[in-house]
């Protein structure tokens, strides 16, 4: 099984590292535009093969897409972060150009690949990829909910003082500080609602911490995070390549689901060898429905920047 990761920066390289040492794919190709960068990252990770013990073959290329031929999954992490003085529209314009040309290049050599979009603003970039490529919706998956949900479970586990792996919870909606919706009502600890253990006040704090989870790390690190984002992409790729059928919140084209049309947003999906195999219809209460509609308005405004 072959995976291409475009963008060998922090998130892309971490994803390649996790895919390798977990044996998720037999081959990983890293692509970057910075001369020698992807080659260097691939070589560095390959030199872990005998210590972390894996057989995945990694290689890197500076923009030679013929090396990516026959990929089963392509992950797009290429893009630039917002720089001081840059408007959101400018950022969207630049990243849209990058994502579009990358998608064209990878599909030329891997026409059957499933594309995982990571570059921000992720919901908008997923929508753009879908529209620009004309691929069926099951083959274009935006990664954001896997990361936001793992952060949600981290904060829940801290509040509960219990291991994160015993905690269940998910975050839906847009992948942004103000648009994501941590579903505290449905979160559980080993099957029991977390509200049995935590007050509403604590749950509200957990939700608020989750929503600014990325920004908190950017403040601490001076740049956006990469370990959890890279691992979240690898978790999603594993579910596709190895047909795990995990239920993962992903950004996907909605066509009436959750009351929305013509927009990509995070909802729980069953992820398997065909990509998005099912959108799971979780029954939301009125407050959650209202939050989802508000989140959709914000994502739509971002998509409008794309078109202008």
Question: Catalytic residues, which ones?
Answer: 175
Evaluate whether 77 touches 5 at the Cβ level (below 8 Å). Answer: yes
Q: Is 185 annotated as a binding residue?
A: no
Under the binding rule (CB under 6 A), the answer on residue 279 touching ligand NAI is no
Q: Is the dihedral of CA 246, 248, 254, 256 positive or negative?
A: positive
Please state the closest distance from residue 61 (CB atom) to ligand NAI, in A: 10
Under the binding rule (CB under 6 A), the answer on residue 224 touching ligand NAI is yes
Q: Is 55 annotated as a binding residue?
A: no
Residue 99 to residues 116, 144, 166, 169, Cα–Cα distance (Å)? 11, 16, 37, 30
Omega before 121 cis (within 30°)? yes
Nearest to 167, CA basis, from 200, 194, 147 = 194
Q: Is 246 annotated as a binding residue?
A: no
Nearer to ligand NAI, 24 or 236 (CB): 236
Number of H helices, E strands in the chain: 9, 14
Starting at the edge strand that comes first in sequence, how are the strands of the sheet with 188-189 ordered? 167-168, 188-189, 192-193
Among 2, 3, 5, 12, binds ligand NAI (CB under 6 A): 12
Nearer to ligand NAI, 2 or 175 (CB): 175
For 83, which DSSP code? P
Nearest to 130, CA basis, from 103, 102, 106 = 103
* Tokens 């994803």 found at: 15
Please state the closest distance from residue 223 (CB atom) to ligand NAI, in A: 7
Q: Is 9 annotated as a binding residue?
A: yes
Please state the closest distance from residue 199 (CB atom) to ligand NAI, in A: 29
Under the binding rule (CB under 6 A), the answer on residue 106 touching ligand NAI is no
Candidates 6-14, 187-195, 253-261, 277-285; binding stretch for ligand NAI (CB under 6 A)? 6-14
What is the contact mask toward ligand NAI in residues 48 to 77, using x (rule: CB under 6 A)? -----------------------------x
Under the binding rule (CB under 6 A), the answer on residue 252 touching ligand NAI is no
User: From CA 288, how far away is CA 181, in angstroms rounded?
Assistant: 8
Neighbours of 212 (CB within 10 A): 14
Please state the closest distance from residue 302 (CB atom) to ligand NAI, in A: 13
Length of the chain: 308
What is the contact mask toward ligand NAI in residues 112 to 131, using x (rule: CB under 6 A)? ------xxx-x---------
**How many amino acids of this chain bind ligand NAI (CB under 6 A)?**
29
User: From CA 210, how far away is CA 171, in angstroms rounded?
Assistant: 9
Nearest to 180, CA basis, from 201, 199, 157, 155 = 155
Q: Which residues are annotated as a binding site for NAD(+)?
A: 7-12, 32, 95, 118-120
Q: Which residues bind ligand NAI (CB under 6 A)?
A: 6-12, 31-34, 37, 77-79, 81, 98, 102, 118-120, 122, 143-144, 147, 175, 224, 226, 229
Q: Which residues are annotated as a binding site for substrate?
A: 82, 88, 120, 151
């Amino acid at each position: 099984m072959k995976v291409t990761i475009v963008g060998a920066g922090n998130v892309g390289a971490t994803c390649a590292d996790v895919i390798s040492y977990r044996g998720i794919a037999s081959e990983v190709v890293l692509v970057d535009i910075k001369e020698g960068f992807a080659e260097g990252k691939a070589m560095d990770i390959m030199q872990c093969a005998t210590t972390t013990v894996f057989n995945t073959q990694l290689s890197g290329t500076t923009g030679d897409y013929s090396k990516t031929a026959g990929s089963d999954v392509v992950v797009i992490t290429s893009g630039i972060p917002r720089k001081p003085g840059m408007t959101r529209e400018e950022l969207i314009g630049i990243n849209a150009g990058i994502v579009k040309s990358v998608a064209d290049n990878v599909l030329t050599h891997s026409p059957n690949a499933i594309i995982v979009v990571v570059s921000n603003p992720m919901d908008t970039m997923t929508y753009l990829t879908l529209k620009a490529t004309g691929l069926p919706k099951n083959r274009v998956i935006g990664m954001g909910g896997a990361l936001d949900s793992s952060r949600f479970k981290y904060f829940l586990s801290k509040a509960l003082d219990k291991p994160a792996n015993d905690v269940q919870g998910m975050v839906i909606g847009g992948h942004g500080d103000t648009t994501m919706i941590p579903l505290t009502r449905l979160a559980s600890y080993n099957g029991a609602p977390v509200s049995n253990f935590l007050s509403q006040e604590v749950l509200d704090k957990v939700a608020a911490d989750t929503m600014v989870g990325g920004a908190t790390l950017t403040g601490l690190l001076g740049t956006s995070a990469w370990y959890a984002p890279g691992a979240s992409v690898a978790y999603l790729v594993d579910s596709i390549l190895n047909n795990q059928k995990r239920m993962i919140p992903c950004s996907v084209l909605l066509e009436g689901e959750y009351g929305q049309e013509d927009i990509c947003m995070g909802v729980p999906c069953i992820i398997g060898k065909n990509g998005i195999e099912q959108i799971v219809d979780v029954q939301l209460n009125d407050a959650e429905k209202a939050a989802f509609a508000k989140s959709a308005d914000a994502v739509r405004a971002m998509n409008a920047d794309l078109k202008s």
